Structure 1
Amino acid sequence: MPTAELPLVTIIALCYNHARFLPQALDSILSQSYPHLEVLLVDDASTDESAVILQQYAAAHPTWRLLLLAENVGNCRAFNQAFRQSAGEFVIDFATDDVLLPHRVEHQVAAFRQAGPQCGMVYSDAELINEQGQLVRRHFRRTAQGLEPRPASGWVFADVLARYFISTPTMTMRRATLEQLGGYDETLAYEDFDFWVRASRHWQFYFQDEVTTQKRLHPQSMSRKGYRPHDPYLNSTIKVCRKALAMCRDEAERAALAVRVRWELRQAVRWRNHPEARELYRLLQKLGHLQPLDKLLGLWVRMR
């Protein structure tokens, strides 16, 4: 198929202090087998040499656009600024400490064709790599019972409420889905759980059983900051759970959300995030799914 007839895919490359990883990340865009790409480079006011590296790549590839933000606005706002300037039918939110494997875009566009027009997002397996680029493990573990965590395709609203199974860096989103949602919620500290909840209410998701992406594990990555004392993302999680409660249509979905809220409550108690634990307990009360241990935890945090 001629390039002009292929769907345009936008890659929004978001950078904050990724200088040591940037060349590998940006070279992985250049290595894509899919020819019809729109690339936006966004620096969220990095304090290292990231902006210099991004300027060098933008100068070498004039079709790439560069947004150097004057102040740090966070991932959600930075992404939305670029998204509003983009045109791709499909969109990748690409953190520039990660790596795209060469057939990532080509294979995920094909997956959208296979999944059909109701599919709002395609995701896949990932390799988790360390700071030196060495393989640690895959996101999905291969067991005698199948993949763990168990992936889901189709209408997955209850699945995304109850459990974590999607590798965020592997997602490619349909533009129409993001537009329907109004982009990311800029009041939140992180984007993926909120996107999964709001998008899966109206769109199907599709799991592609192959490795398309390498996700970098390092101390500054977002995934290393959660579930710790003073968790910077916990208040955003509570906001999303409240949204989800308003979206639940039946008791099965409320039960699925209760599984999530119960897990978050126990982590909040474990790490002594007491105000947030009290909020989560009240939310679990509203759901009507209190278990004996939940009541004990609720009593304990009310005394803190």
Structure 2
Amino acid sequence: MNNPPLVSLIIITMNHEKFIEQACLSAISQTYPHYEIILLDNASKDKTFENAERVLARFDKPYKMIRNTESFGVAKNINIAVSQASGEYVSLLSGDDWFTEDHLSEKVAYIGENQVDFILSDGYKYYQSEDKTTDIYTPKEKKQIIESLPNFFHENVSENKTANVGTFVKRELLVQHPFDENINTEDWDMNLRLTSRGYRIGFIDKKLFHYRILSTSLSRNWKVMQDSYEKVTHKYLDYIKSDRELYKKYLLKLVHFKYEILLSETDSESEKERLHKEWKKEKYRIKYKNPVLFFKLLMLK
């Protein structure tokens, strides 16, 4: 590549002292030649900043370190870091995840060869408590994502179906359309806002990241996730309601959050059993409008 575009690799981190070294090592080890690193520490109360500083000091390219004096949400932190970025493209990394060495080179090559504005990829899930690595997608899930890219907004508006680790996007888009700071699932919201405006998304069928799953991960906090889900979908509720299948998926998702929250709030096995039965009934009421069919299927279960 004669004139490789500058990429700003942004790391957002908070209280990741056990993991930030791995994230930073993956950042400074990229095979792509033309990039900068911007690390934003969100007022960590541990040694995250110091550990990151020690690793990044070995980087032979430009880097910036930002240290918040107060804690903000992820979306606001990304917006702050983007305002300090100089790259034509931005790649986002959480301080507890890490990239493969060819992460940036693969994405720069892909966006140079395809008419897209931002990119997702395949990757791995790493379960910290079990020390276990699995594929982020099943073959069926990945096939569905790739085949539905032309209709990405429609396919994802009622439920986020993609892993958004290492999102690679034109910086100008994040300047024109900054992340919504009132939403926790800021990556899903951004994907919908960009595709709803006609911006094109691409997907690289290569494993380019490791997504660390912790017992404290946001995806396990059902009340927070419900709040975020409702905030995102509220923006597109008229569109969702206009499509029978989308609306059904939306209602099922709300029921899912409702019962996951109730289950997380009880230790009683008998109560959990009762809640599972009620959950099943509500799901079938939504899925099957025909009362006779509903009760027949319920009896079979």
Under TM normalisation by the shorter chain, which class is it? 0.7 to 0.9
Tell me which residue corresponds to 1:232. 224
Tell me the alpha carbon deviations over residues 177-208 of structure 1, each in whole angstroms, 9 at most, x when there is no partner: 22331x10011223112112101112111111
Counterpart residue identity of residue 19, structure 1: E
How many Å separate the matches in 2 of 1:56 and 1:110? 31
- Percent identical pairs in the alignment equals 23
**Alignment CA distance shift 1:256-1:105 (3 Å):** farther
Tell me which residue corresponds to 1:43. 41
- 1:124–1:208 Cα contact (<8 Å) kept: yes
Tell me the alpha carbon deviations over residues 59-103 of structure 1, each in whole angstroms, 9 at most, x when there is no partner: 444721010000110111111111111121211121011110011
How many Å separate the matches in 1 of 2:179 and 2:225? 15
Moved segments of 4+, more than 3 Å: 57-62, 132-135, 146-152, 248-251, 254-257
Indicate yes or no: 2:191 matched with 1:196.
yes
- Aligned-pair CA distance for 1:260: 4.2
- Aligned-pair CA distance for 1:131: 2.1
Q: Quick one: which of 236, 247, 252 aligns to 1:263?
A: 252
Q: Quick one: which of 161, 167, 177 aligns to 2:157?
A: 161
How many Å separate the matches in 1 of 2:97 and 2:241? 38
Counterpart residue identity of residue 10, structure 1: S
Q: Point out the structure with the larger helix share.
A: 2
How many Å separate the matches in 2 of 1:133 and 1:24? 18
How many Å separate the matches in 1 of 2:110 and 2:245? 28
Matches within 5 A, 1:144-159: 147=142, 150-151=145-146, 152-159=148-155
- Aligned-pair CA distance for 1:172: 1.0
Counting matched residue pairs gives 266
Matches within 5 A, 1:134-145: 134-142=131-139
- Aligned-pair CA distance for 1:236: 2.2
- Aligned-pair CA distance for 1:139: 1.1
Tell me which residue corresponds to 2:205. 209
In angstroms, what is the RMSD of aligned CA positions?
2.7
- 1:58–1:66 Cα contact (<8 Å) kept: no
How many Å separate the matches in 2 of 1:178 and 1:165? 22
- 2:164–2:188 Cα contact (<8 Å) kept: no
- 1:91–1:174 Cα contact (<8 Å) kept: yes
- 1:10–1:90 Cα contact (<8 Å) kept: yes
Counterpart residue identity of residue 190, structure 1: T
How many Å separate the matches in 2 of 1:210 and 1:158? 24
- 2:16–2:48 Cα contact (<8 Å) kept: yes
How many Å separate the matches in 2 of 1:15 and 1:173? 19
Q: SS at the partner of 1:7?
A: coil
Indicate yes or no: 2:236 matched with 1:244.
yes
- 1:139–1:167 Cα contact (<8 Å) kept: yes
Tell me the alpha carbon deviations over residues 258-295 of structure 1, each in whole angstroms, 9 at most, x when there is no partner: 2442232112321357xxxxxxxxxxxxxxxxx98249
**Alignment CA distance shift 1:153-1:46 (3 Å):** same
Q: SS at the partner of 1:214?
A: strand
Structure 2 gap ranges (5+):
263-282, 289-301
Q: SS at the partner of 1:40?
A: strand
- Aligned-pair CA distance for 1:174: 1.9
**Alignment CA distance shift 1:103-1:174 (3 Å):** same
How many Å separate the matches in 2 of 1:154 and 1:295? 27
Indicate yes or no: 2:185 matched with 1:186.
no
- Aligned-pair CA distance for 1:35: 1.0
- 1:22–1:53 Cα contact (<8 Å) kept: yes
Larger Rg: 2
**Alignment CA distance shift 1:250-1:237 (3 Å):** closer
- 1:162–1:256 Cα contact (<8 Å) kept: no
- Aligned-pair CA distance for 1:134: 4.4
**Alignment CA distance shift 1:194-1:257 (3 Å):** farther
- TM-score (ref. length: structure 1): 0.79
- Aligned-pair CA distance for 1:115: 2.0
Structure 1 gap ranges (5+):
274-290, 297-304
